Every structure is written in C-alpha cells, then in structure tokens.
Structure 1
Amino acid sequence: MTRLDRYLLSQLMALFGFFALVLVSVYWVNQAVRLFDRLISDGQTAWVVLEFTALTLPNVVRVVLPVAAFAAGVYAVNRASQDSELVVMQATGASPWRLAWPVAVFGLIVALMMTLLVHFLVPASRAQMADRQQQVTENVTARFLVEGSFQHPATGVTIYIRQISELGELLDIFLSDARAGSTRTTYTAERALIVPSDSGPKLVMFDGMAQTLRLSDQSLATMRFADFTYDIGALMSVSARSKRSIDEIMTVPILRAPDEVIAQTRQEPAALTRIVHQRLAQPLLAPAATLLGFSVLLLGGYSRFGLWRQIGGAIFGLIVLQFLTNAVDSATKSAPEAWWLHYVPAGTALSVTALLLWWSGRPRRRPRSATLPAEGVSA
C-alpha cells in the first residue's frame, strides 16, 4: 500500500473506532436498562444483570459495525473535502477508483470482524444466554418457596415450609394438590430438596406420607414413602428447553452435522441453508455500506459549506439498503429456498457504487459561459 492508502486507512480506522464505541454504548445501555428492570424485579443480583448484559454485547456489536463503518467513511471524506485534501488528491491524478481502494480495504477489515461475530461469537453468546435464562427461571421457581408461610404458586396448590436450612434443605414440608378436581392429595415430609433435571426442577421429598382423598365417596388412601419426586417445574410453569434455537448454533456444526442440528432445532433443511447464507451475506453489508457512502460523497465538488446534500443522499442510500435487507429477511423466512436473496442488498449497493464511481470519474465540461469565444479575441 502506498503512503496515501495508509493515510486514508488510518483515518478510517480511527473514526471507525470512535463511532463504534459511541453507537455500541448507546445501543448496549438501552438493552441493559431493560434487562436490569426485568432481572431485578425477579430478585436477581447485580452480578446476574452484568452477566446478561455482557452476553448481549456480541449481537449489539454485530448490528452496529456496518453503521459505524458507514459513518466513518462519510465523515472522513467530508473532512478531507473541507480541508482541501480531497481536491489535492484528485489534482495529483488519483481517480475515484484509486481513492476507493483504501476504503474497500477498510470495508474488508470490518467484514472480517463481522464474520467472526456472526459465525462464532453471536451464536455462542446466545447459547450461553439461553442456558443462563433457564437457570434463572429455576431460581425464580425456588424463590416461591418461602419458609413459615403458606404459598399458592398455582390454582389448587398450597405449599408450607417450616424452615429452610443453610444447606438448602426444606424442613417439615406440607404440600396440598387439588388440581385434579375429583381428588385431593396432601404430601407431608420431614425434609425435601429441589433438584434440577432435564425436564425442569423437581421437588424430592424424604420420609413422608401421601394422603389422597376421593371427593366422590370421601374415601382416604394413605401411602408412606422413603423418597418421592414431585414435578414442581410443571407446577410453576417452568420446563426445560425441548429444542435449541438455530441462532444458538455456530455455522461450522451446521455444515458438518446438519442431521444432528435438524434433530436439535426441529428445522427443515431449507431453513438451515437459509441461515447459513444469511450469515455469509451479513459481513458483506459493511464494505457495501462504506463504499456506497464514499461514492455518493465523491459526486460533490469542493464547497466551503461542505457536502451536506451528498451526505443526505448517502444517508438515504443507507436507509434504502437497510430496508432492502429487512425485506429480504422477511421474504426468506416464508420462502427459505430463496436463500440467494440474502446477497441482493450487498450486490445492489456495490453495483450502485460502481456506477457512481464511474460517473464521478467522467471528465466534467465547463459551462459555455465560462469559456472565451474563439473569434474576436485580440492579443
């Protein structure tokens, strides 16, 4: 790379870091506030809130990077125009295609960052968050078990615990279940534990008795037990995940073992193909948006008032690009076999960029009023 390329690239990277930091902070704080309200209301600690907000960070960065790259490209060109640097570069013979080279390299660097995010970091963070949400849900279930008072976690169910030991044991537990309507079962036990399982948390009672009253004839059946398991997860509408989301699985396992992924996610093969191509196309939006904004700003000449009209046109182009991306995502969800549509937004932006670079590189004719007539001019 020449000194000019390194200079432009350094300017773009510095501005990109600034805009990315600002946008990520704003977006992340907005999500953190919502998570804080929800988790604190559920009785979670500040450490759990911090963990959840950290797990949302990779997806926030993925969303913000193309916009930050676009803002860096537009701001760098506008500042170079105001400082007459762009005019000097063009006066030395640098064509729009030549000036676009470091911008393309910058876009590819951002695309590599996004590739790492969409294929590895974002799925890993979503999988970890899903597991932690399940654990937090089970903790919320345990929070309903309060010692020394009668609790009614569901209609027809009453639980009383005399004491909860420091080891987490529930001492002298009473549980009445009248949900069946025709029968009423009362469980009493000297101690109990809440045990997590694949199908949700279970209440394991030891050294107790179960009394079942049949309401039709008022008959009572009694059974003593050494240990008995009660599904408290189903009682409190808490159940383990029956399937994984495709967004929680990295791209490499999807390509290596698609049958296993289909069994885990219960998705059709076409849906797996769609998600893989969606992840492959997402990093292309960074160089496409950056080059689009750069090419639009090259259409304007030097002005003391800046390139505000071109900046407005570049922002409008970014909005159209995002609108097209959202439309493609919606279309492919209903028709997964049309996975090729994911490449249309980036391809369209790059095609428009090529057209604008060609147009800005055309020789511009001066107005006829600015030229002197060939006849009638004396020495």
Structure 2
Amino acid sequence: MKQIERYIFGRIASLTLLSLSAITILALTTQILIRVDVLTTSNSALLTFFKLSLTLVPEVVLAVAPFALLVGIGRILTTMNEDSELVVIEASGASNIFIAKPIILFSVLLGIGLLLVANFAGPKANRNLYSILSGSNTDIISLAISSGKFRKIENGLYIQVAESLPGGGMGGIFLSDRRDPSAELIYYAKVGTLKKTDNANLLVMNDGEIHRSAAGAEQVSVVNFKSYVLDMASFIPSTEKGDPLPKELYLPELLEPDTTNSNYESHRLFYNYEIHFRLSSWLYTIAFGAIMAAFLANAQSNRAQHFQRIASAVITCVIVRVIAGIILENSKTSVFAGALNYIFPIFVTLLFMLQIYAGYSLKLPKSAQNLIDRLQERITTIFERRTKPTSQTKNNGAV
C-alpha cells in the first residue's frame, strides 16, 4: 500500500472507530443515567449494572458500525475535497481506484470484525446476561427498586419501596405479582432486607401481610406474618430462565439445533433469521464502502454538488439497508429470501465497484438535484427570516 493510500486508510479508520466508540458510550451512558439514583446507593449494584451494560455492546456495535463507517468516509473525503487533496491526487494521474482501494480495504476489515462479533462476542454476551442475573439477584433487585416509585421487573411483576433504612434495610415494601393469570398475590411488609446465602439470594420481609385473590373473584384471603422469605430467583424474567434462545446460541448450535430445547418450537423461525443475520450482515458494510467511494472519490470544485453526492450516497445506503431488513424478515420462511441475504449485498458491491473501475462519477438525477437545491433555498430563507428580527432588535437597542 502506497503512502497516500495508508494516509487515507488511517484517517478513515480512526474517525470511523472514534464515531463507533462515541455512539456506543452514549448508548451505555443513557442507560446509566436512567438508574443514577439507584446506582449511587450501592457499589455492588453499580458493578453489576456495568456488567449488564457491557452485554449490550455487541448488539449496539452491530447496529451502528455501518453508519459509523458512513460518517468516517463521508467526513474524511469531504475534508480532502475542501483542502484540494483530491484535486492534487487526480492531477497526478491517479484514478478513482487509487482513492477507493483503502476505503474498500477498511470496509472489508470492519466487516470481518462485525462477523466475529456477531458469531462469537454476541452469543457469549447474551449467555452472560443470564449468568449475571442468576448470580447477582440481590443487585438486580437493587437496580429495579427506586425509592417511592413503582418499578416493573417483568410483565405482571411490580415492586415499590417507600424508603431506604440505615444498614441496608428497606421500609414500606409493596410487591404485586400477577404473572399467574389464575391468581393475584400482593405482598406488603413494614420492613425488609436482602440477604445472600450459599444457595440463594433472599428477600426477608417482616411484619406484613399477603393478599391472595383468584381471577374474577371478589373475595380476598389475607395472611398476616411476622417474617416471610422470598427467593430472588423467582424475580428473574421467565423468558431468561429456560433453555437458551436463538440469539444465545453459537453458529454450530443454530445450524444443528437441539430439538429438545424448550424454546425450539416457539422460536423455530428465528433460527433461520439468526443464521442469515450473522452470516450476511457484515457484507453490507463492504457494500456501504463501495457506495460511498463511488459517489465521493472524485474531486468537486462546487460545494453544492459535493453535498448532493453525499446526500445521494447516504440515501442509497439507507435504501439498501431497508431492503436488507425486508429480505432478512422474509428469510424466516423463504429459502429464496435466505439466498438473497447474500446475493443482494454482493450484487450491490460489485455494481458500485464496476462504476469505480469505469471511472464514472455517480450523481443524483437532475430532478432530485433540483429538489435538494429547492430544499436548501427554503431552509436558508427560513433561517434568515428567524435571525433577521433578532439582528434588528440588537441594532435598535444599540441606538
């Protein structure tokens, strides 16, 4: 790889990875801020929540990496065009292939990274999710409890704690359990504590009542107690207590599924979906790189035309992504759609790489360019109307 190619490769790689990291951290920070009032009360709860947040990283990376690539390629090529670097490269006799080569190479490497994430890091993270839940029930309940507020643990299961007491105790515990359609259980206790033993994590409630009523019945049976113990394992969502779901299985386990798995029949269609998603999603990263290179590898002296090409590239990528989602959804039941998961991104990649080799500069149709120009003019007019009164007010004030 020549020096200028290494230069383009390095700049695109650094900006893409920086964008990917920023979006991932932003997603995790959002989750942390939602629970900040709870996390500040317990060091162990904070550690557990960070572990849970890390299990979300593979899914976030798979979702945003292709669009982080768009940001990296679009921004770097725009900067190079504004600094006349693309003009100098073209003046030296280099073709579009010279600029497209490092872009395609990085897209391939990023795609391979996503392939590894989808098939190794993703299933491992999803499996670790349950092990964290089952091994740290006390901390999970601490995360679910927010003083004075009802919190939903799962469908039909809600908990409220009126206040936190010194020494880790809780006052005014209210728990409603409607997971069983045939009965409703309501627990109330004046005080309670979370205790961990060798075999289980327990919620010990003191001085309270249990209200039990059958579905549709008006009568309610009330049981008073001085002390009552609940196993925290019963608070783990039922969808995560059984056999592994398709997203928790490694690729060989998806290709040769265990028919004795309790989730096999209810999620059988998702086995095909998961297989095609893991094996085809990385191909779209390469397709996105080819699309961006085909639209932006040429130098443009007119900024408006360069903006139009960026818009064209992004719109094309979004359309490709939407079509990919439709194909993937249909691959649950259609063998033909399953094959299209691989044929379509390869076809798109080859189509735009042929455009690059042919030296043809892609751009929007004239009608679309005129529409973008009118939108730009409209936005500029609206902005000027809103800023003009402010400027006049400042001038009048100065007088």
**TM-score calculated relative to the size of structure 1:** 0.67
Determine the structure 1 residue equivalent to 2:230: 194
- How big is each residue's C-alpha offset from its partner over 1:155-195, in whole Å with a ceiling of 9 and x where there is no partner? 76565658657855556776464538699877677755333
The range that moved more, 54-63 or 183-192, is 183-192
Determine the structure 1 residue equivalent to 2:251: 251
Secondary structure, counterpart of 2:229 in structure 1: strand
Verify the 8 A CA contact 1:81 1:306 in the aligned structure 2. Answer: no
**Root mean square deviation of aligned Cα:** 4.2
1:314 maps onto 2:313 in alignment: yes
Amino acid at match of 1:290: G
Determine the structure 1 residue equivalent to 2:64: 64
1:107 maps onto 2:130 in alignment: no
Verify the 8 A CA contact 1:161 1:172 in the aligned structure 2. Answer: yes
Determine the structure 2 residue equivalent to 1:129: 129
CA change 1:27–1:356 in 2 (3 A) is farther
Determine the structure 2 residue equivalent to 1:86: 86
Per-residue deviation, 1:13: 1.3
Verify the 8 A CA contact 1:9 1:103 in the aligned structure 2. Answer: yes
Per-residue deviation, 1:357: 1.0
Verify the 8 A CA contact 1:123 1:247 in the aligned structure 2. Answer: yes
CA change 1:179–1:285 in 2 (3 A) is same
Verify the 8 A CA contact 1:28 1:60 in the aligned structure 2. Answer: no
Larger Rg: 1
CA–CA distance in structure 2, aligned partners of residues 263 and 166 of structure 1:
32
Determine the structure 1 residue equivalent to 2:356: 357
Superposition pairs of residues 271-310 of structure 1, within 5 angstroms? 271-299=270-298, 301-303=300-302, 307-310=306-309
Higher share of residues assigned helix: 2
Verify the 8 A CA contact 2:16 2:69 in the aligned structure 1. Answer: yes
Amino acid at match of 1:284: L
Percentage identity across aligned positions?
15
Determine the structure 2 residue equivalent to 1:224: none
Secondary structure, counterpart of 2:289 in structure 1: helix
CA change 1:349–1:91 in 2 (3 A) is same
Secondary structure, counterpart of 1:339 in structure 2: helix
How many residues are aligned here?
Answer: 322
CA change 1:261–1:37 in 2 (3 A) is farther
Determine the structure 2 residue equivalent to 1:153: 176
Verify the 8 A CA contact 1:55 1:125 in the aligned structure 2. Answer: yes
Determine the structure 2 residue equivalent to 1:219: none
Per-residue deviation, 1:47: 4.6
CA change 1:39–1:327 in 2 (3 A) is farther
CA–CA distance in structure 1, aligned partners of residues 16 and 265 of structure 2:
40
Secondary structure, counterpart of 1:153 in structure 2: strand
- How big is each residue's C-alpha offset from its partner over 1:278-328, in whole Å with a ceiling of 9 and x where there is no partner? 211111111210121111113554446672221121111112112212221
Verify the 8 A CA contact 2:90 2:299 in the aligned structure 1. Answer: no
CA–CA distance in structure 1, aligned partners of residues 245 and 117 of structure 2:
17
- How big is each residue's C-alpha offset from its partner over 1:79-124, in whole Å with a ceiling of 9 and x where there is no partner? 2222232233233332223332221211112112211221122222
CA–CA distance in structure 1, aligned partners of residues 211 and 114 of structure 2:
54
Per-residue deviation, 1:150: 9.4
The range that moved more, 348-357 or 161-170, is 161-170
Amino acid at match of 2:214: R
Secondary structure, counterpart of 2:214 in structure 1: coil
CA–CA distance in structure 2, aligned partners of residues 12 and 153 of structure 1:
53
CA–CA distance in structure 2, aligned partners of residues 152 and 84 of structure 1:
66
Amino acid at match of 2:231: V
Per-residue deviation, 1:272: 2.5
CA change 1:81–1:176 in 2 (3 A) is closer
- How big is each residue's C-alpha offset from its partner over 1:4-53, in whole Å with a ceiling of 9 and x where there is no partner? 322221121122233223333444445555x539988xx99555544433
CA–CA distance in structure 1, aligned partners of residues 301 and 49 of structure 2:
50
Superposition pairs of residues 253-268 of structure 1, within 5 angstroms? 253-255=253-255, 257-259=256-258, 264-266=263-265
Amino acid at match of 1:69: L
Secondary structure, counterpart of 2:35 in structure 1: helix
CA–CA distance in structure 1, aligned partners of residues 209 and 303 of structure 2:
81
1:179 maps onto 2:214 in alignment: yes
Verify the 8 A CA contact 1:66 1:285 in the aligned structure 2. Answer: yes
CA change 1:64–1:88 in 2 (3 A) is same
CA change 1:142–1:317 in 2 (3 A) is closer
CA–CA distance in structure 1, aligned partners of residues 348 and 141 of structure 2:
44
Determine the structure 1 residue equivalent to 2:24: 24
> Unaligned regions of 5+ residues in structure 2, if any?
145-152, 163-169, 178-182, 196-201, 362-399
Verify the 8 A CA contact 1:74 1:294 in the aligned structure 2. Answer: no
CA–CA distance in structure 1, aligned partners of residues 194 and 29 of structure 2:
37
Amino acid at match of 1:317: T
Secondary structure, counterpart of 1:73 in structure 2: helix
**TM-score calculated relative to the size of structure 2:** 0.64
